[in-house]
Structure 1
Amino acid sequence: MQLSATFEAPGLVHVQGGNGIGKSTLVELCSGYLRPWQGIVRVGGMDAHDPRARAARRICRSQPALYPDMTVRDHLVFTTRCNGADLDTELIRAVDLGLYPWLDQAARTLSTGNARKLWYVMCTTGRFNCAVLDEPFNGLDHDTTHKIATEISGWSDNRLVLLVSHTLPPGLAVSDTFTLEAAGAAWR
């Protein structure tokens, strides 16, 4: 498949398409960990695999990757140190998403929904210019989905957010829709 697209900040771009069409591959290309066979992927004007681009973007993959024996708090301490973010700010975000009772519990004890909440917070800590989120609402209750949607909408006022999602929560203000199809892609 060939793809040529430019996404401009600020805004919220909903990336959609059928299963297996390449949405998660697009996320990996934006992350810089997967390099295209041909062409180039740029994030913020830099090659996606450039370490400077990594500092300016956040990638939230669909599957959480947590250390089973580390606590929720340990994960947040680790992530904030890696991103130069403020721990108190990220703890407040985690508590707001309902993780307070689990802050000192090992990740292996978390439910699917709570693991996804932690993963989302970890993947979006600190300052960034672009966020690429792959199915961030899967497995979450209505209240958490609403809180995350509100946060994403706020980011899109001054940053670029690419949101891969089969379904959108009500009220999420999408500025553009990008549909991946078997023959390429289409804007709506």
Structure 2
Amino acid sequence: MAIEVRGVGAVRRGRRAVPVPDLSLGGPGLVRVRGANGAGKSTLIELLAGGIAPAVGEVRICGVRADARAARGLRRVCRTEIALLGHVALRRHATLFARAAAVPALEALGALADEGLADRLDDRVDALSTGEARRAWMRLTTLGAAPVLLLDEPLLGVDEAAAEALRERIDAWAVERLVVVVDHGRRDWGGRALDLSQPRARISP
């Protein structure tokens, strides 16, 4: 399990050119991406997720081009914006996400139950609190056993107790997978740190 970024240099985001460092990340393990606002943390996640195709260079997930169809099964992506349908019940979302991840629906329902949402399965998403929706979003977008997980602000909007539980889950995932996480908070994460604020991004032990 590995992430490779070579020769991209920068990508356009609106009118800005966001610098992209060369990277070589091996797993398993946890890598926290840090840097000032505008340093390109979310841009890097989107590049690794295949949502941005670089004009030059290459981005690979486990040896496969990040924007190739074959890369979809090698990673899971939890983006910052919660893209759940407000008028649709949580149970229906579980069925849809399970199908997309090629896992049994019971696995999705079990993941939601792990987050204390077993009694909210038949509620519409817009009836959930922000923290409940965030927890559901993170678990549904990380179903299955993909070797690479990309998490952009997975703890945003959850209370401290829920954030600690999610962090423990992320730490457990990192024992067997390569987990890349962006967190703008001041939490003390373990693992390695990738600092995008430096002229040349560095990974600290």
- What range describes the TM-score normalised by the shorter chain of this pair? over 0.9
Match of 2:144 in 1: 126
Q: What runs of 5+ residues in structure 2 fail to find an aligned partner?
A: 1-18
Q: Contact conserved, 2:147 with 2:177, CA < 8 A, in 1?
A: yes
Correspondence 1:161 to 2:159: no
Q: Does structure 1 retain, via aligned residues, the 8 Å contact 2:97–2:108?
A: no
Give the CA deviation at 1:110: 1.8
Shift of residue 105 of structure 1?
0.9
Residues 3-152 of structure 1 aligned to structure 2 (within 5 Å)? 3-152=21-170
- DSSP 3-state at the match of 1:68: coil
- Aligned equivalents of 1:162, 1:81: Cα separation in 2: 24
Asked which structure has the greater RCO (Cα within 8 Å, sep 6+), the reply is 1
For each residue in 1:75-134, what CA deviation from the matched residue of structure 2 results, as whole angstroms up to 9, or x when unmatched? Answer: 111000111112222222212212223211111222211111111011100120000000
How many angstroms does 1:47 deviate by? 0.3
TM-score w.r.t. the length of structure 2 is 0.85
1:169-180 matched pairs, under 5 angstroms: 169=187, 172=189, 174-180=190-196
Over the matched positions of the two proteins, sequence identity in percent amounts to 34
Q: CA RMSD in A?
A: 1.5
- Whose strand proportion is higher, 1 or 2? 2
2:158 match: secondary structure: coil
- One-letter identity of the residue aligned with 2:184: H
Query: Following the alignment from structure 1 to structure 2, what is the Cα–Cα distance between the partners of residues 18 and 101?
Result: 39
Judge conservation of contact 1:62–1:136 (CA < 8 Å) in 2.
yes
**TM-score after normalising by structure 1:** 0.92
Whole-Å Cα distance in 2 between the matches of residues 168 and 41 of structure 1? Answer: 29
Is it true that 1:187 corresponds to 2:203 in the alignment?
yes
Closer, same or farther: CA 92–168 of 1 in aligned 2, 3 Å: farther
Between Structure 1 and Structure 2, how many residues are aligned?
A: 186
Matched-pair contact (CA < 8 Å) for 2:111–2:140: no
Deviation at 1:142, TM superposition (A): 2.2
Aligned pair in 2 of structure 1 residues 141, 153: CA closer, same or farther (>3 Å)?
same
Counterpart AA for 1:134? D
Which runs of 5 or more residues in structure 1 are unaligned? none
Structure 1 runs, 4 residues or longer, greater than 4 Å off? none
Shift of 1:182: 6.1
Q: Is the 8 A contact 1:60 1:136 kept in 2?
A: yes
> What are the superposed Cα offsets for residues 1-52 of structure 1, whole Å, 9 maximum, x if unpaired?
2410111011100111111111000010011011123211111111001111
Partner of 2:3: none
